[in-house]
């Protein structure tokens, strides 16, 4: 029997990447693509500020097509919701019955998604929901996730953490009040390698800048190679 079709909400960060790994291991759905919102003004992934070129390389490494949703900047909520209604309509037309999210424990975010899905015929899935984040962070690192912090909220975590690897040393340095997966918005990441990819994304660190109340580490595609085997 054919498996039901699923779209994965893709932020370019570790939680969505781990959700991809988890869904593939569970094998219950056919994953048809990655859904990403982009700041159309700056051509970067919303919130994570990852360049579109790097996003494209991630999708290539994951072996999945990208569904890109360009957002104006700033983006009123009504505009966002209209665009997402279009996504739901496209899912229906292509036989996709679910969208999965990498959310971990924020009840209000989950409730918002569930309201947006109500009546669409597209089910919301949360494959990582309520996994203890201290254990999850360790599992990600032991499991081979290679990620860099691209955005830090300096109101919750010092800006010097921007650009650091998501590794054991980082976890050891995080203040006790900071969630080890950054689920409260303390930080966002970009995954350049891991078991969900067929090869690594060659990335290099650029300057660290503060903008719009956040600290960003600018990442670029390494010039010496288009791809490397993991």
Q: Using CA atoms, how far apart are residues 211 and 154, in angstroms rounded to an integer?
A: 11
pLDDT of 118-160, one tens digit each?
999 999 999 999 999 999 999 999 999 999 999 999 999 999 9
- pLDDT for residue 227: 41
**Least confident interval from 29-38, 141-150, 215-224:** 215-224
Asked whether the whole model's pTM tops 0.85, one would answer yes
What's the average model confidence in pLDDT over 68-96? 90
Domains of the chain: 5-229 (3.40.50.620)
pLDDT of 53-69, one tens digit each?
999 999 999 999 999 99
Q: Using CA atoms, how far apart are residues 127 and 125, in angstroms rounded to an integer?
A: 6
- pLDDT for residue 46: 82
């Amino acid at each position: 029997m054919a498996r039901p079709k699923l779209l994965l909400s893709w932020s370019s960060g570790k939680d969505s990447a781990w959700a991809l790994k988890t869904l593939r291991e569970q094998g219950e759905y056919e994953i048809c693509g990655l859904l990403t919102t982009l700041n159309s003004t700056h051509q970067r992934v919303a919130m994570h500020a990852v360049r579109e070129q790097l996003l494209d390389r991630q999708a290539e490494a994951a072996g999945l097509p990208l569904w890109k949703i360009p957002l104006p900047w700033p983006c009123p909520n009504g505009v966002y919701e209209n665009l997402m209604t279009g996504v739901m309509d496209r899912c229906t037309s292509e036989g996709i019955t679910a969208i999965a999210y990498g959310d971990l424990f924020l009840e209000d975010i989950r409730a918002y998604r569930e309201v947006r899905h109500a009546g669409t015929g597209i089910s919301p899935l949360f494959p990582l929901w309520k996994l203890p984040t201290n254990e999850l962070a360790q599992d990600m690192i032991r499991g081979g996730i290679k990620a860099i912090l691209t955005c830090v909220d300096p109101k919750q975590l010092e800006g010097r953490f921007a650009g650091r690897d998501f590794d054991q040393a980082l976890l050891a340095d995080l203040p006790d009040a900071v969630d080890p997966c950054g689920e409260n918005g303390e930080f966002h990441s970009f995954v350049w390698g891991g078991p969900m990819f067929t090869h690594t994304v060659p990335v290099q660190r650029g300057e660290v800048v503060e903008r719009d109340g956040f600290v960003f580490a600018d990442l670029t595609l390494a010039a010496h190679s288009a791809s490397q085997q993991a």
